[in-house]
């Protein structure tokens, strides 16, 4: 099952490599990984999406917790949560395609953020399925380049991951 694990990590050199190293060392999957500093400059927030049986996920969270630089973590998929991923896509856009792409972008509530005579650059945010859906809708043949940030997530309601 797919899980989103959100981690508060000491903002120190080498901390990220420990997390990444742990996944490869113990043969766990990483599907996406994002990391950036938080409002507290001593902390980074890292989000990793992974798949595995309940037993594997339990081990992943336990092993992550053992890392000295991991301050706190939560498996967001255990409760209601919001997940978002940002995608930038360059699409071939000539002739009648231009209007068609524009319509599809509107349906997916994306924006065209850069234009040339033959290329649209589209920005789209949403959960990973929505981004996949957009690519499917425009068709892979017109896609020139895709860049995705990987998943970020946060719990719904009053639950907060902080110190």
Name residue 115's beta-bridge partners.
120
Cα–Cα distance measured from residue 151 to residue 14, given in angstroms and rounded to the nearest whole number: 22
Cα angle 103, 147, 136 (rounded to 5 degrees) comes to 45
Cα–Cα distance measured from residue 143 to residue 27, given in angstroms and rounded to the nearest whole number: 33
Residues of the shown chain interacting with another protein in the complex, contacts defined by CB under 8 A? 10, 14, 17-18, 21, 25, 55, 58-59, 62-63, 65-66, 68-72, 163
CB of 145 to another protein, least distance (A): 31
**Residue recorded with tokens 């037993």:** 55
- Our CB check for another protein shows the closer of 13 and 95 to be 13
- Our CB check for another protein shows the closer of 21 and 79 to be 21
Closest by CA to 70, choosing from 34, 39, 45, is: 45
CB of 141 to another protein, least distance (A): 42
CB of 21 to another protein, least distance (A): 5
- Our CB check for another protein shows the closer of 10 and 31 to be 10
CB of 3 to another protein, least distance (A): 17
Containing 22, the helix (H) or strand (E) segment is helix 15-25
User: What does the block give as tokens for 135?
Assistant: 């690519």
- Our CB check for another protein shows the closer of 43 and 48 to be 43
């Amino acid at each position: 099952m797919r899980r989103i694990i959100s981690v508060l990590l000491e903002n120190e050199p080498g901390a990220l490599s420990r997390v990444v190293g742990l996944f490869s060392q113990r043969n766990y999957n990483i599907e996406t990984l994002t990391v950036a500093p938080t409002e507290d400059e001593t902390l980074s927030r890292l989000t990793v999406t992974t798949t595995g049986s309940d037993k594997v996920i339990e081990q992943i969270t336990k092993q992550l917790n053992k890392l000295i630089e991991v301050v706190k973590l939560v498996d967001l998929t255990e409760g209601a949560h919001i997940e978002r991923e940002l995608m930038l896509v360059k699409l071939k856009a000539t002739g009648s395609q231009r209007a068609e792409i524009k319509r599809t972008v509107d349906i997916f509530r994306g924006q065209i953020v850069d234009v040339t005579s033959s290329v649209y650059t589209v920005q789209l945010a949403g959960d990973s399925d929505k981004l996949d859906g957009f690519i499917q809708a425009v068709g892979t043949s017109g896609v020139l380049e895709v860049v995705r940030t990987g998943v970020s997530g946060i719990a719904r309601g009053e639950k907060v991951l902080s110190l």
